[in-house]
Structure 1
């Protein structure tokens, strides 16, 4: 390029072969003795700034320009003898790349804290891409590049990434209530975050040409909670869903062998009455939206579904032919004394048979424990 020759004039131009340089300085080794009449060629995607005597001049647009300095060929060399034949009229040209630098990556190196309205404090990771372009070349040189001979996107990307993450954390805290509202809002978040970052980029002579959010990821346990909630929103009839899952588990257990399979089958068999006790005749009650009435097991004291024949917790039989008048324990058939308190088993009223489903109910029952219809 002939920047520091003694006699000939300079012809200055620059090509970015890497596609990643924001700016490039000529001469590359520092300032030079750019002479009066040197030719400067600037491409459409570039701008050039002449620094003369340490001060920035106007930016040159596309085209060929003639530079005017105090350096005259040969004469300047002779007059600069007191300074070791180095002219004090130093000059350099900064070429600035005005194209859009696309596909720059941003993301959280460490999770950022977000206080979710429903999940509490959650740590999030987020990633995306952004595009930048230079809109004020002199400001970029004075604030970021300084006297560096070349300045690339790799050098500025780390800093801009930190700025984006900081604004991202603030934006989520102000505009997002809970992660359950996140699906479908990536575009809104990206647009709002871009507006919040415009001033941060403008102070360096940069414009944020585009910003995109590709992922916002909570911890695995939070993702599991979100997935569970999504599944529950799909299930319209939880009772039938639970019964279906129980039937599938029993079918799988039936194919098992050995003591483990037998024990699992026995446990599920004891739960069968509680799971399926309300299937018969329950259509009218379910359609009317009536909640299942809870009963209490006399043996273990746990709440169990009304009408269950066996307690799903301890296996205690709930519907019996007679009970002890003294302690309420179930009496075996033809028992003379209560096995719990020893009280004599006297004559008891007869059991009540439901006329609808023909289920046997305890003496004095008003509603059938099997189908819920009124007795008598």
Structure 2
């Protein structure tokens, strides 16, 4: 290669005539045009494609921003850079400036999720924990602000680098939003669309503050512990079930649990007591049929004195979920106490009482609280 060829090659790399960026990836948000110490030639061509924005930075200061199109770089198309450089009468010599290309297309299917469970205070179930995850979509709405506040001097900025920041922001704002919503816990999974829209409205200003537009936000699932989920399902059926049937159902479950309990005679005694109650209740349900059969039998002859009629059993009413329930007999009330449908603070009323009274203040019901276990048999 002759000396003139070397001089020609050197001059051909001295100035940049065309500034453009072809993005062959799907995750690059911002790319700095590499100059390798070369200067931009006066009247060079700038090509900005659809879905891109070109940003000129001069000595750390935001200069000119170009939307899609083809431009000839001179004092007419670089008004801010012209002012910063002090070119009062135009320029003919090459100049240096950092050029960043920003992708302005929509970045979709970005994942988010809560790293740790969110603790909520529900009125009926107390402190509960939930988790949530979903997707979101964003795009760069203010390229200049985004470069100054987020990118800095990074020469190739990808969505992976911003996603950790955005996911932390989303998790924080999601926690605040669901905490302030104060919804019943069972409604979170059933109202994900409304909750997604509310969260997006809350998060949009946070994204806009760094030049990002939150375009879509979706909550795909709100999960909770399995035992809490089962309790919610059972609670939701209470209004649709007959209270008497529900009591029998819970009694049967308590008998089953007591039968599998190997804790000793206390568990066996409780199981037997509940068994007697259930047998009594089932006997009451069958009594109409039995009565019909008894009427078919010949009536006993009245020989001798007949005993007086049995005294009427005491019937109790109790408060459940702010409503009056009952009446139930003594043994039924004991069964409700045993399976924790009621407790020592439950309000009780029976005929002859002036006011509703807590269970532990009713004399004959204090036996439910313990202390009436007989001593062991003598050896």
Normalization by structure 2: what TM-score? 0.60
Could you say which residue in structure 2 is the equivalent of 1:374? none
Corresponding residue number in structure 1 for 2:46: 40
The C-alpha deviation readout for 1:47-94, integer Å capped at 9, x for no partner, is 11122344332211111111238xxxxxxxxxxxxxxxxx99532211
Larger-gyration structure (1/2) = 1
SS of structure 1 residue aligned to 2:41: coil
Does residue 221 (structure 1) correspond to residue 227 (structure 2)? The answer is yes
Q: CA deviation at 1:221?
A: 2.9
Q: Which residue of 2 aligns with 1:294?
A: 329
* Whole-Å separation in 2 of the counterparts to 1:117 and 1:213: 24
Task: Say whether the 8 Å CA contact 1:187–1:213 is kept in structure 2.
Answer: yes
Q: 1:217 to 1:18 in 2, by over 3 A?
A: same
Alignment of 1:278-357 (within 5 A): 278-280=284-286, 291-295=326-330, 303=334
1:33 CA displacement: 1.5
Give the corresponding residue for 2:23. 16
SS in structure 2 opposite 1:291? strand
Q: Tell whether 2:62 aligns with 1:27.
A: no
Instruction: After TM superposition, list the pairs within 5 Å mapping 1:1-376 onto structure 2.
Output: 5-7=12-14, 9-27=16-34, 32-68=38-74, 89-236=95-242, 238-239=244-245, 242=248, 273-280=279-286, 291-295=326-330, 303=334
Structure 1 unaligned blocks of 5 or more: 70-86, 254-262, 284-288, 306-376
| Distance of 1:106 and 1:47 partners within structure 2 | 27
Counterpart-to-counterpart distance in 2, 1:282 and 1:192: 58
SS at match of 1:18: coil
Are the structure 2 counterparts of residues 124 and 291 from structure 1 closer, same or farther at C-alpha, using a change threshold of 3 Å? closer
Flag the 1:217–1:235 CA change in 2: closer, same or farther, 3 A. Answer: same
Question: What stretches of structure 2 of length at least 5 have no aligned partner?
Answer: 1-8, 76-92, 260-267, 290-323, 337-379
When normalised by structure 1's length, the TM-score is 0.60
**Could you tell me whether the CA contact under 8 Å between 1:28 and 1:149 is conserved in 2?**
no
Q: Decide whether aligned partners of structure 1 residues 296 and 271 sit closer, same or farther in structure 2, where only a CA change above 3 A counts.
A: closer
Compute the displacement of 1:224 (Å).
2.7
